[in-house]
Amino acid sequence: MTPLADKLRPKTFEELYGQDHLVGPNGFVSRTVSAGKPLSVILWGPPGCGKTTLAHIYAKAFDAHFVSFSAVLSGINELRKVVKDLESFPLLHKHTVLFVDEIHRFNKAQQDAFLPYVEKGTIILVGATTENPSFALNDALLSRTRVLTLNALDDEALDNIMSRYEGDNNPLPLTDEGRQYLFSASQGDGRYLLNMIENLLPAFDRGEPLEVDEMKALLQKRPALYDRAGDGHYNLISALHKSIRGSDPDAALYWLCRMLEGGEDVLFIARRVIRMASEDIGLADPEALKIAIAARDAYQMLGSPEGELAIAEAVIYLALAPKSNATYIAYQQARQAAAHTTHLPPPKHILNAPTKTMKSLGYGKGYQYDHDTTEGCSGQNYFPNDMPREKFYSPVERGFEREMLKRMSYFSQFRE
């Protein structure tokens, strides 16, 4: 039996909802078709957004022969066989679109195998991937193709898909709340929406509107769209980090929970939260690092789900803490200076002299013991003699760093 998603697969660009930036009147695909010159492209987008469908319609628009190729099931030998068949009968097809699903699963050598055929025009390559092509595909292949980004379907696009089904069948017995629940549960995946409708058809036969609770009981919860080794892993931790840096506890909690829903390693999150405490808060609030470390320790002691609350507590605290990257900048600048001056020794007056020979060489000569001074600071030079004094740490006028600024001002007068 043909799945509903295949029965309703769009056959024209007009029926491909949610991707007007590509297939609308001024979209890249529409302009390419109008020009009559097919180009090799990489279709990048989440599951159920229409990548395979777009590839089919793209080939049809050029009256091209369509060959489907799976990166999971096929290899270089299968590719060579396909190309050999095409070259054996060159007049049968003006163009051939080779559609490669999950092209990111090919390794570098396998990806390179496409290059000569794309360059010669033997095939028009259309690759589909859910992974960021910048990381998943090699530069040689990217330079010979155009990356097209497809969006997750919004509620309007999902409603159009449902209405298209209802136009071919009977209206679905759904309340507005039930309809919205299906859109929400789809999470931008048109295929998943149609699969849910197909699963609910026996219940729809009774003719009465289904309540949301009934639908929840009948439908399996869709796994979170998240890849712990892919884009989701890096994009969501970036969103969490920037939400904390931007002092937005609500957004920070949201991205934390998105990662937890996706099954992210909680200790990975905890490590990054500790990093945020040092990088974005620093000495503006010295308690931030303590709380971040304590949250990590609490999770290690309690595990999930109890320990996750400690991570949430740390996230809220860090988001609302005064921000300063002064420590981060000072560290980076000091590292850079150190890398360029590794040949310079410390000044002799701050070196220990445990032997007579070292004393005779001037080690420790002229050193002033800071505790012996009235102010507790001698003001001596601690940089290498041949290196001008540098200023790396510049505290901000926020939080505890205001106190650090006062202390730096106090000690700097003795060095002047």
At 132-159, the pLDDT tens digits run 898 889 999 999 999 999 999 999 999 9
The alpha carbon torsion through 197, 203, 208, 212 (nearest 10 deg) reads -60
Task: Tell me if 256 sits within 8 A of 272, measured CB to CB.
Answer: no
The answer to whether the pTM exceeds 0.95 is no
Q: What percent of the chain has pLDDT over 90?
A: 60
CA–CA gap between residue 112 and residue 9 (Å, rounded) = 32
What was the pLDDT predicted at 230?
A: 56
Question: Position 172: which residue type?
Answer: L
Task: Tell me if 249 sits within 8 A of 320, measured CB to CB.
Answer: yes
CA–CA gap between residue 44 and residue 206 (Å, rounded) = 40
pLDDT band per the 50, 70, 90 thresholds, residue 227 = low
Q: How many residues does the chain have?
A: 416
The region of weakest confidence among 107-111, 347-351, 369-373 is 107-111
At 357-392, the pLDDT tens digits run 889 989 999 999 999 998 899 999 999 998 999 999
**Phi-psi bin for 63: left (phi > 0), alpha (psi -120 to 50), beta?**
left
pLDDT band per the 50, 70, 90 thresholds, residue 27 = very high
**Neighbouring-strand partners of residue 127:** 42, 100
Nearest by Cα to 285 from 275, 277, 297, 294: 277
